[in-house]
Structure 1
């Protein structure tokens, strides 16, 4: 082999090495950009999740302070129904008293006029 042929083969290998090295750098840069982008998206998602968690806790507190529980509602309903029953009993007793008063009144005597 002559010196020119050796230089051509050496140049070819340097060319291949340079091509693969450049290709590797290009792919590595794309991977690095994707990692950076994914990291930014992940931290944004984490911030949104944290905000959602705080808002949910505030809403739970608002619901606990504002609305009544099932057992509390049941208790209030029982008290109201008891009061309505007491009013019904009082009205029933009142009508019985009125009926007795009307029954005990003397009936007016009817006279025949001729």
Structure 2
């Protein structure tokens, strides 16, 4: 290449630059479309996450309102057990009183004997 630049050479350089520019624009457009799609997906995921968070909050609130806590259940159980023990003690005393009354009356007479 010792001579002047020919039109063929300029055309070839222009063609290569045109192809590179076209490839650049094509890739840039694909990147922009991918970024827009990613933004849409992100918005959708954020909406779903917000819905999931509100659902979880509603379930937690319902559980707190509907079901008793462990402390309440334990306290209720202790009250029931103490009442049952008190009733057992009352029945034991009643049984002892009935036994005392029966022993103080003497032997039981049989009917028809």
After TM superposition, the structure 1 = structure 2 runs for residues 81-100 of structure 1, keeping only pairs within 5 Å, are 81-100=81-100
RMSD: 1.5
In the alignment, the residues of structure 2 paired with residue 95 and residue 75 of structure 1 have an alpha-carbon distance, to the nearest angstrom, of 30
After TM superposition, the structure 1 = structure 2 runs for residues 45-60 of structure 1, keeping only pairs within 5 Å, are 45-60=45-60
What do residues 65-93 of structure 1 show as CA deviations (whole Å, max 9, x unaligned)?
A: 11111111111111111111111111111
Structure 2 unaligned spans of 5+: none
The structural deviation recorded for 1:107 is 2.2
The structural deviation recorded for 1:108 is 5.8
Structure 1 unaligned spans of 5+: 110-114
Quote the residue 1:29 is aligned against: 29
In the alignment, the residues of structure 1 paired with residue 77 and residue 103 of structure 2 have an alpha-carbon distance, to the nearest angstrom, of 39
TM-score (norm 1): 0.87
Would you identify which runs of 4 or more consecutive aligned residues in structure 1 move more than 6 Å? none
